[in-house]
Amino acid sequence: SQQGEEDPQALSIQEGENATMNCSYKTSINNLQWYRQNSGRGLVHLILIRSNEREKHSGRLRVTLDTSKKSSSLLITASRAADTASYFCATHGNKLVFGAGTILRVKS
Amino acid sequence: GAVVSQHPSRVICKSGTSVKIECRSLDFQATTMFWYRQFPKQSLMLMATSNEGSKATYEQGVEKDKFLINHASLTLSTLTVTSAHPEDSSFYICSARDNGGVREQFFGPGTRLTVL
């Protein structure tokens, strides 16, 4: 299966702290994407990093990609209570395949 | 950004009935649409790839006669859950790939299916 694995499965932090989530995958990819999903809602696209990129920033988000290790990380800096959600990585070969996700809870 | 809609957002049906879910790309054309299924507190699992004008491609373990997919136009794909049973209760999410140069994939808001 190409489905990736994410760790941690759940993360609970205080508002203002940084949150780091990791994703590993198994096959070669064209790009890797991170999504957020609030409980019972649809997906919100956060950021896309191409296979030839190593790091990308978007606001408080920082994504890294290590294709040699087949892994990626998502860092959310200065977290807010509104960041509470599930976060998924998705790898794109010829189709988008989602990782297991990390449930992030930011306590105010 | 591009918008994908799903209808209905929630549906409750009796066991044995069939339910149709629509997925529309509102401001772009999508030759390819995807259907995902998500159980509570789990990830999205790709069920099938829907191609306009041709048969859908189903992932391993997904019954094509159970989950009928029709992609009759460049802006509409439908998923019909036939003879639904309680174990089919799930969150169904579609996405559409933009035919344009970016070829980004946009997601619908999901449909919550509850089979009694």
Q: What pLDDT sits at residue A64?
A: 98
Per run of 10 residues, the mean pLDDT along chain A (length 108 residues) is 70 96 90 91 91 96 96 97 95 83 95
What residues in A contact B36, CB-CB < 8 Å? 98
Report CB contact under 8 Å: A96, B110. Answer: no
pLDDT higher than threshold 60 for residue B105: yes
Q: Look up tokens 């999504």; give the residue.
A: A35
Report CB contact under 8 Å: A43, B91. Answer: no
Residues 46-65, chain A, touching B (beta carbon < 8 A): 48
Q: What pLDDT sits at residue A49?
A: 94
Q: Which helix (H) or strand (E) holds A107?
A: strand A102-107
Higher pLDDT, A34 or B100: A34
Report CB contact under 8 Å: B34, A95. Answer: yes
Q: Which two tokens stand for residue B3?
A: 């918008």
What ranges make up the beta strands (E) of A39-93?
43-50, 55-58, 61-66, 71-76, 85-92
Q: What pLDDT sits at residue B1?
A: 65
What CA–CA distance (Å, rounded) separates A57 from B76? 34
Q: What pLDDT sits at residue B103?
A: 63
Q: What pLDDT sits at residue B101?
A: 57
Which of A86, A95, A102, A105 would you mutate first to test chain B, the one with the most B CBs within 10 A? A95
- pLDDT tens digits, residue range B54-66? 899 999 999 999 9
Q: What pLDDT sits at residue A94?
A: 72
Q: What pLDDT sits at residue A3?
A: 55
- pLDDT tens digits, residue range B4-57? 999 999 999 999 999 999 999 998 888 899 999 999 888 899 999 998 888 999
Question: HSE of B22 in the Cβ direction (CA atoms, 13 Å)?
Answer: 11
